[in-house]
């Protein structure tokens, strides 16, 4: 083994441990990623969500800021648009909504004494990327099952794949057909069994980290939001993208249980980027059940979810496929607000919600809408061919004529030194 490899294998994990101090958030500005702290759920869910996790890691940069957008696509309805920046939960490796779930999932993995993590997603999965990086930070080996029509080739290094591979993930590929027929849970189980047979102790995480453990990340996110908002800025609507349902489950339950009796309880809107509305009501209800949601007799978790959540169709051409209008929307929003949405989730979510507002007479006029930006910008790298023409027109590169040779923008006249 070369010195270099040895350094990687031996010194690096112990380096991270040396930075260890108190993991309790707020006690020190130095945190140890691999040290979990006891988790106390918000008091408002005490009797209504019975399956709270006991421990949590400190991985995300929280609380994330809330920005008020100056000019935005809902300005014609005089909407006060707030953007909750969960695209800023971490650096390029951890950022986005998944790291909130991973704080609970990976705490569980450590508690169970696991040494590897197995998860699954599309080839540009933000969840897989964040899982891989977070796993490395706490000394676990990341194993990713990526679904791609190019399953027989090397998947390359574009976008999230660059980060997956930078952190040394073991990558396994399958086709969309195999994924559909065998199912994501079974694929994770089989790769876990494969690793266990080789003496490893793997921890399986479902698609998007969306189960009864991970989704607590967004129950907690709602608690964070409530503490950030003052009483004189009541939010009328909360809007976000929905892919595997965990974010929707956490936010829906959080808002319902924390603010259920408030007359100004915000309405929760999830924009589905795959499947259909009924699928998501069922998925979210399923996760709510795993989280231990207590509902009235003669009622079901799905009734509860349907009462507190509106799912909108937003898949457009299909998962991870963009229309020219969606990409133009993302590009215009970026050029007017400085905030970049992603093509697979947040871009489709806000694009479709704006369509919905424009078709809803005046229901949203003068309201305060909080758009929860869930991250994902690395997914834009896969869309560069589709973005090329418009971006080159919007933002051309102009040659400077530094020596006055006659071509370009003439700046050949020296300025007087000040
Ligand atoms: C995964 C993801 C979502 C969807 O969250 P779920 O909890 O899976 O529904 C939204 N936005 C981005 C950027 C994501 O990566």
The alpha-helical segments, DSSP class H, found in 97-168 are: 98-111, 126-137, 160-166
CA-to-CA distance for 261 and 6, rounded, in angstroms? 58
Residue from 97, 131, 147 whose mutation best tests the ligand 1 pocket (most atoms within 8 A of CB): 97
Q: Which strand (E) or helix (H) includes residue 336?
A: helix 324-337
CA dihedral 283, 284, 288, 289 (to 10 degrees): -20
CA-to-CA distance for 222 and 51, rounded, in angstroms? 17
Bridge partners of residue 270, in order along the sequence: 240, 311
Which atom of ligand 1 has the smallest separation from the CA of 345? 11
Q: What is the mean pLDDT of residues 279-298?
A: 97
pLDDT at 205 over 70: yes
As a whole number, the mean pLDDT across the chain is 93
At 136 the three-state DSSP class reads helix
126 in contact with ligand 1, CB cutoff 6 A: yes
Pick the closest to residue 402 from 389, 390, 415, 393 (CA basis): 415
Quick one: DSSP state of residue 28? B
Which atom of ligand 1 has the smallest separation from the CA of 246? 7
Residue 25's pLDDT is what? 52
Burial of 267 (0-12, 13-18, 19+ CB in 10 A): middle
Bridge partners of residue 371, in order along the sequence: 83, 239
Reported confidence tier of residue 27, pLDDT bands at 50, 70, 90: low
Quick one: DSSP state of residue 96? S
Residue 2's pLDDT is what? 53
pLDDT at 317 over 60: yes
Pick the closest to residue 383 from 126, 124, 63, 19 (CA basis): 124
Neighbouring C-beta atoms of residue 415, cutoff 10 Å = 6
Q: Which strand (E) or helix (H) includes residue 353?
A: helix 346-358
Pick the closest to residue 198 from 127, 153, 141 (CA basis): 141
Q: What is the mean pLDDT of residues 18-38?
A: 67
Contact (Cβ atoms closer than 8 angstroms) between residue 246 and residue 101: yes
CA 13, 142, 208, 288 dihedral sign is: negative
373 in contact with ligand 1, CB cutoff 6 A: no
Percent of the chain with pLDDT over 70: 93
210 in contact with ligand 1, CB cutoff 6 A: yes
Residue 213's pLDDT is what? 98
CA-to-CA distance for 90 and 132, rounded, in angstroms? 14
CA 404, 408, 413, 418 dihedral sign is: negative
**Cα–ligand 1 centroid distance for 144 (angstroms):** 17
Residue 19's pLDDT is what? 44
Q: What is the mean pLDDT of residues 35-56?
A: 95
Predicted confidence (pLDDT) per residue in 377-415, tens digit: 999 999 999 999 999 999 999 999 999 999 999 999 999
Pairing of strands 66-68, 80-85: antiparallel
pLDDT at 283 over 80: yes
Contact (Cβ atoms closer than 8 angstroms) between residue 352 and residue 317: no
Residue 295's pLDDT is what? 96
Output the CA–CA distances (angstroms, integers) from residue 71 to 78, 172, 228, 356, in the order listed.
10, 44, 23, 19
CA-to-CA distance for 221 and 247, rounded, in angstroms? 9
Reported confidence tier of residue 261, pLDDT bands at 50, 70, 90: confident
Q: What's the first-to-final CA gap in the chain, in angstroms?
A: 59
Residue from 159, 247, 350 whose mutation best tests the ligand 1 pocket (most atoms within 8 A of CB): 247
187 in contact with ligand 1, CB cutoff 6 A: no
Global confidence as pTM: 0.93
Q: What is the mean pLDDT of residues 107-130?
A: 98
243 in contact with ligand 1, CB cutoff 6 A: yes
Can you list the positions of beta strands (E) in 57-108?
66-68, 80-85
**Cα–ligand 1 centroid distance for 345 (angstroms):** 6
Predicted confidence (pLDDT) per residue in 335-364, tens digit: 999 999 999 999 999 999 999 999 998 999
Predicted confidence (pLDDT) per residue in 183-193, tens digit: 999 999 999 99
Output the CA–CA distances (angstroms, integers) from residue 145 to 25, 219, 273, 352, 376, in the order listed.
33, 28, 21, 30, 19
Q: Which of 36, 95, 125, 169 is catalytic?
A: 125
31 in contact with ligand 1, CB cutoff 6 A: no
Residue 22's pLDDT is what? 43
pLDDT at 276 over 50: yes
Residue 28's pLDDT is what? 63
At 362 the three-state DSSP class reads coil
73 in contact with ligand 1, CB cutoff 6 A: no
CA-to-CA distance for 37 and 414, rounded, in angstroms? 61
pLDDT at 5 over 80: no
pLDDT at 222 over 80: yes
CA-to-CA distance for 23 and 34, rounded, in angstroms? 9
Residue 162's pLDDT is what? 98
Q: What is the mean pLDDT of residues 39-58?
A: 96
Residue 281's pLDDT is what? 98
Predicted confidence (pLDDT) per residue in 87-112, tens digit: 999 999 999 999 999 999 999 999 99
CA 325, 331, 333, 339 dihedral sign is: positive
Reported confidence tier of residue 20, pLDDT bands at 50, 70, 90: very low
**Cα–ligand 1 centroid distance for 375 (angstroms):** 8
Predicted confidence (pLDDT) per residue in 142-178, tens digit: 999 999 999 999 999 999 999 999 999 999 999 999 9
Residue 29's pLDDT is what? 78
250 in contact with ligand 1, CB cutoff 6 A: no
**Is 28 considered catalytic here?**
no
Which atom of ligand 1 has the smallest separation from the CA of 87? 13
Q: What is the mean pLDDT of residues 209-227?
A: 98
Q: Which strand (E) or helix (H) includes residue 221?
A: helix 216-228
Residue 339's pLDDT is what? 97
pLDDT at 13 over 80: no
pLDDT at 8 over 60: no
346 in contact with ligand 1, CB cutoff 6 A: yes
Residue from 208, 212, 382 whose mutation best tests the ligand 1 pocket (most atoms within 8 A of CB): 208
CA-to-CA distance for 158 and 55, rounded, in angstroms? 35
Residue 232's pLDDT is what? 76
């Amino acid at each position: 083994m070369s010195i270099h490899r040895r350094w990687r294998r031996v010194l690096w994990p112990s380096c991270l441990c040396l930075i260890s101090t108190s993991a309790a958030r707020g006690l020190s500005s130095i945190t140890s990623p691999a040290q979990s702290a006891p988790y106390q759920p918000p008091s408002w869910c005490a009797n209504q969500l019975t399956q709270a996790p006991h421990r949590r890691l400190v991985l995300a940069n929280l609380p994330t800021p809330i920005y008020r957008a100056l000019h935005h696509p809902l300005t014609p309805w005089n909407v006060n648009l707030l953007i909750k920046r969960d695209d800023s939960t971490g650096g390029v490796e951890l950022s986005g909504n998944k790291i909130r779930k991973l704080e609970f999932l990976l705490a569980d993995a450590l508690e169970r004494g696991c040494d590897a993590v197995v998860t699954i997603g599309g080839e540009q999965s933000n969840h897989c990327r964040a899982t891989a990086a977070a796993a490395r930070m706490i000394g676990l080996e990341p194993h990713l099952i990526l679904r791609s029509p190019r399953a027989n080739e090397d998947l390359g290094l574009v976008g999230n794949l660059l980060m997956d591979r930078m952190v040394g993930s073991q990558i396994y590929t399958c086709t969309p057909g195999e994924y559909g027929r065998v199912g994501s849970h079974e694929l994770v189980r089989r790769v876990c069994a494969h690793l266990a047979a080789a003496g490893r102790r793997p921890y399986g995480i479902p698609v998007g980290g969306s189960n009864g453990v991970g989704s607590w990340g967004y129950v907690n996110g709602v608690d964070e939001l409530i503490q950030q908002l003052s009483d004189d800025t009541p939010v009328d609507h909360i809007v976000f993208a929905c892919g595997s349902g965990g974010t929707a489950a956490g936010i829906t339950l959080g808002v319902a249980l924390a603010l259920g009796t408030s007359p100004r309880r915000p309405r929760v809107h999830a924009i589905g980027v795959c499947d259909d509305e009924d699928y998501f009501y069922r998925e979210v209800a399923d996760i709510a059940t795993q989280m231990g949601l207590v509902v009235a007799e003669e009622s079901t978790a799905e009734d509860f979810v349907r009462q507190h959540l509106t799912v909108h169709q937003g898949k457009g051409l299909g998962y991870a496929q963009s229309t020219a209008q969606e990409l133009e929307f993302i590009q215009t929003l970026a050029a007017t607000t400085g905030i970049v949405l992603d093509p697979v989730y947040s871009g489709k979510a806000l694009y479709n919600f704006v369509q919905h507002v424009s078709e809803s007479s005046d229901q949203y006029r003068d309201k305060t809408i909080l758009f929860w930006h869930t991250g994902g910008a690395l997914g834009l790298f896969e869309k560069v061919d589709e973005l090329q023409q418009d971006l080159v027109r919007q933002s051309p590169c102009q040659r400077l004529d530094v020596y006055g040779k006659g071509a370009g923008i003439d700046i050949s006249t020296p300025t007087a030194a000040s």
